[in-house]
Structure 1
Amino acid sequence: MATNSRSNSRATFSSEIHDIGTVQNSTTPSMVYYTERSIADYFPPHLLKKVVSEVVSTFLLVFVTCGAAAISAHDVTRISQLGQSVAGGLIVVVMIYAVGHISGAHMNPAVTLAFAIFRHFPWIQVPFYWAAQFTGAICASFVLKAVLHPITVIGTTEPVGPHWHALVIEVVVTFNMMFVTLAVATDTRAVGELAGLAVGSSVCITSIFAG
């Protein structure tokens, strides 16, 4: 009986070792695949397409908003303050629906940073998006300077009251814009199809109030 007990124990122990070895062998490929998939997520093949989309969308955002503001400052009869605010909001809506499915249509380094902080965007792609946004904005500025000559003030706004008033207003309107953007773009319970309209309306409202 003792011999049978030892034989059963050895068989059970051998079976357990075999099972552990089987599990280890079966999990090793999946672990390797997970690592490769993570790298692919950080540097997807279509990253260049996303970067180009950010360059184009940021270029058009700056071109329209700053161009409308410059024309309004030069001749208010052509574009009113309300008109330039609506133009800024509409271009945001249009760009979100145009390239949102490609790059997310951040068009703003602050938006990219906020998405990364709240873990809705990989940190490793942040420098690429920032470079794209800076490139688009700078190119739009030079184009506006060329086509709006002799207008020299290109969309520059100045506070009309105390500087601390302007600071408080900027904090409030920036919070409003970022709150709406994060709420509709990152919360799965929000209606994704209306995200562009919500963000664009937020930009329009803040521009009307504080522009």
Structure 2
Amino acid sequence: MTDAPFPRPFLWREPLWRRAVAEVVGTFALVAIGCGAAAVNAATAEATGAGAVTHPGVALAFGLVVFCVIETVGPICGAHLNPAVTVAFALDRRLAWRDVPVYLPAQCLGATAAAYCLLALLGDPAHAGVTRPNAAIGITQIGALLVEAALTCGLMTTVLAVATGPKEKGLLAGLSIGGVVAIEAMAFGPVTGASMNPARSLGPAVAAAEFGDLWLYLVGPTVGAAAAVPLYRLIRPAAVAGS
């Protein structure tokens, strides 16, 4: 136990360039599989009148790919896959701020490359990966902003609980984080897209050239993840002190 107000600095074994490449690969996989499921669902709905993947299938695709990527590249880079997560880890002093300007572009590059691949493969149905408030059920931009902040706060609180430094620890970490992503996507996907991830929203928005609502998905998740840092310290002070 220690009385230090912040966790001990995390010492990486892998060089920063290798971690950046792993973040590119991991975030590419997240968008290719998660947004790809949404795009395939839209394409089959257009062709046959019924989406082959369905909304629960899309939510599960996001959750399962997060789990798989954490288990694959987590030991290398932490598998943040998400600029909001990276910023929150830096705010919690679990990640050096000097690493943030490398992690964030890597995540955005992976997400954008995957979105363009989906566009080349499927055409317009790939635009189903774009996140936007569901105006048909009365969701405003402010409402979407609050929902995304709250969802990401819940996700980041889970991440902080199962992480050692800026890395998830063990099989249950991947299951816990992937499970939260799937549950939140299943419940709130029809409301805002349940992005919880600025890079995941940026890639499809760039590929589709749809930027009107993008700011919601850059600001909301970042604020929500940042808010999770003091929240976790409030509800689990013993765990923080023992880091």
Fold match (TM-score > 0.5): yes
The residue matched to 2:127 in structure 1 has which SS?
A: coil
Give the superposition deviation at 1:169.
2.2
Larger radius of gyration: 1
CA separation of 1:171/1:150 partners in 2, compared to 1, >3 Å: closer, same or farther? Answer: closer
Unaligned runs of 5+ in 2: 1-8, 190-243
- Residue 16 of structure 2 is matched in structure 1 by 47
Cα distance in 2 between the residues matched to 1:79 and 1:62: 16
Cα distance in 1 between the residues matched to 2:16 and 2:163: 20
CA displacement 1:110-148 (0-9 Å, x = unmatched): 010000000111110111111111111111111111011
CA separation of 1:73/1:186 partners in 2, compared to 1, >3 Å: closer, same or farther? Answer: same
Q: 1:133 aligns with which of 103, 107, 117?
A: 107
- Residue 162 of structure 1 is matched in structure 2 by 139
1:201 corresponds to 2:170: no
- Residue 109 of structure 1 is matched in structure 2 by 83
Q: 1:73 aligns with which of 34, 42, 52?
A: 42
- Residue 16 of structure 1 is matched in structure 2 by none
Report matched runs for 1:166-185 at 5 Å: 166-185=144-163
Give the superposition deviation at 1:191.
6.3
Q: Matched residues, percent identical?
A: 41
Give the superposition deviation at 1:209.
0.8
Structure 2 length-normalised TM: 0.64
Cα distance in 2 between the residues matched to 1:127 and 1:157: 24
User: Given that residues 90 and 97 in structure 2 are in contact (C-alpha distance below 8 angstroms), is that contact kept between their aligned partners in structure 1?
Assistant: yes
Kindly tell me the number of residue pairs found equivalent between the two proteins: 169
Cα distance in 1 between the residues matched to 2:124 and 2:156: 35
Bigger RCO of structures 1 and 2 (CA < 8 A, at least 6 apart): 2
Cα distance in 2 between the residues matched to 1:208 and 1:107: 20
Structure 1 length-normalised TM: 0.73
* AA at the equivalent of 1:143: C
More helix by share: 1
Give the superposition deviation at 1:105.
0.3
* AA at the equivalent of 1:196: G
CA displacement 1:78-130 (0-9 Å, x = unmatched): 11000000000000000000010000000000010000000111110111111
* AA at the equivalent of 2:161: A
User: Given that residues 54 and 103 in structure 1 are in contact (C-alpha distance below 8 angstroms), is that contact kept between their aligned partners in structure 2?
Assistant: yes
